[in-house]
Structure 1
C-alpha cells in the first residue's frame, strides 16, 4: 500500500536541501542534531512522533507541523495523519504486551544477586511490535513456535537459571497459558509472573489423560 502522505513529504523535501528546509523552519544555523532530527522524521513510520523529542524550539508534533507548513503540505491532511499516528502510539503505550516467561524452577543457592539481576532479562521472551493486536489464537500459535525455537537454540538450558521446565505465555497482565517445551498447552495460570509474585497464584494444569483424549 502506497503511503501518499509520506511519499509527498519525501518528494517535496528532495527538491530542497535539508539545510534550507531547516532554515525556513526557523533554525537559522542548522546543527548536525537538527539535521539528524529532520532525517529521522523523514525515515520514521511515526514521523518522529514517538520519540518525545524537544530541542527548545519544537516538540515532536510541532516539528512535523512546521516542516509540513514549509513544504506546502495540505494541513488538513497533516492534522489527520498526526491524529492517527498519535492515537496508535497511545494505544501501543497503554496496551499490555504479551511475553513468554521461561520457567526453570530456579531456587537460589548462593548465586550473587548482581549476577541474577544481570541475567534476569534471559527469562523473558518478547514479541514483535504490534503483536498484542493479533487475535489470541494467533498469538498462542506464534508463542508455541517461539517456545520450540528457543528450546532448540538454547539446548533446553538457560545459563545461570538452569534447565528449562516449561514456559508461561502471558497474554494478559495476570493470565497465562503454560506451555511444555514442545509448545503444547499444558495448563493455565491466574496471577503475575512468579518472579514478581507476592501472593499464591491459582494454577490449573491439564492432565496428560485430558490432553491425549480424542477431540
Structure 2
C-alpha cells in the first residue's frame, strides 16, 4: 500500500509541476482567467497532461484507501473525482466567445462533478476520524464555499444578466477550489502512511 501512496503523491506532484509550468509560461491573468482557458496557450498540452496525472494520483490513493478498509463511498468519490479530472482534460473548453459545444458541455459538467465530489469525500473522511481530520474538514469547507462562488456567475447568466469573468475574480475562486481539493486528496493519502491512522478508521464508515 505504501507503494501505491508514494506513486500517487508522485503523480500529484508531477501534475502540479505541469500546471505551474503552464501558468508561468502564459500571459493570462490568473485572477480572472479560468484554468480551462490555458489549453489555448502555446504550451496548452500541459493542461490535459496535468489533469491526467491528477486522475492517476487519485486512482492510486483511492486504491490504497480501499485496501485500508475505508468506506466504499469515499473510494468511489475519489475515483469519480479522478475520472472527472481526466474528462476535463480530454474534452477541452470552447474558446472565449464561441457558443457552447458538446466538448465544452462535457468539460463544464465534468468540472462541476469533480468540484463537488472531493469536498463530500473530505467530509466523509473527517467523519471517519482519519489523521488530519480537522484539516481535511476545513479544506473541504473552503472548497464548498469557493465552489458556490464559482457557480453563482453561471446562475446569474442564466437569468440573462451579462457578467463576464473580467467583472469577477473567476480565476481566483476556481483556483481556490482546485488547490483545496488537491489538499484534501494529499491529506487522505498522508493519513494512510502511518498505521495508527488506519486503526483509527471508524467501523461505521468501513
Fold shared, TM-score > 0.5 on shorter chain: no
Answer with 1 or 2: which has the greater Rg.
Answer: 1
**TM-score, normalized by length of structure 2?**
0.26
More helix by share: 2
**TM-score, normalized by length of structure 1?**
0.25
